[in-house]
Amino acid sequence: MTTSSRAAALPIARNVVERVDRRHRSSLCTAPVLNDAGALLDAWCVTAADRGIDMSGGYPGGEWAERLAVVALEMATRQVRQPCPSTPEEATALLDTVVDRLAERGITTRRDVLYVALPRTSSTPAWGAFERCRLAITIDIACGWKLVIDQPTGSPVVELVGRCDESGIDAMLDLATTVNTGAYGNIFR
């Protein structure tokens, strides 16, 4: 693999990982998780190329790369499953920090028990049965960040894969606010 094709491989591997995450998984990964999985996929592709395996132009692509991307995502996901709040009080404190970090971004909201609802934007999709429902961030003590619909009835849940501690809040908020603008469409369909 040449230096120029090696430099191009990592962004392509990252794109393959992101495409696989959106298409084949019921969760959404934060940027650090996608970056780690992309780097792992890239390393596997470089190793294959170094062993003389045809890389279809020197970059990851095709069905085999997507299969490896699923494995890379699973491995990167395992690394961020812990730490996670172990009590409702710890989860509440973390959600209070989420409210503070949103305020730093100019987004005014509040915590309601174990939910932090995001204000709707002009491009926020209709969530659930009622068009004006808001997207809300919550924490599942067993597995971390979740997105739900802020409505009184049961809500579908989408897991956000990322560190569920103070160090992971900004990456989670980047993803949640992007979802809230409609960039991913209605993630609950």
- 186 within some domain: no
Residue 67 sits in the same domain as residue 93: no
DSSP conformation letters of 63-131? HHHHHHHHHHHHHHHHHHS-S---SHHHHHHHHHHHHHHHHHTT----EETTEEEPPP-TTPPPPTTST
Where is 46: in which H helix or E strand?
A: helix 31-50
- Cβ neighbours for 74, distance < 8 A, ≥ 6 positions apart: none
8 A C-beta contact, residue 134 and residue 118: yes
Question: What domain range includes position 172?
Answer: 88-180
Residue 75 sits in the same domain as residue 95: no
Residue 74 sits in the same domain as residue 123: no
Total number of domains in the chain:
2
pLDDT (tens, 9 = 90+) of the chain, 189 residues, equals 444 344 444 567 888 888 888 776 678 999 999 999 999 988 887 887 788 766 454 445 566 778 888 899 999 988 887 778 989 999 999 999 999 999 999 999 999 988 999 999 999 998 866 667 899 999 998 889 999 988 656 778 899 999 999 999 999 999 999 999 999 888 887
pLDDT for the residue 22: 77
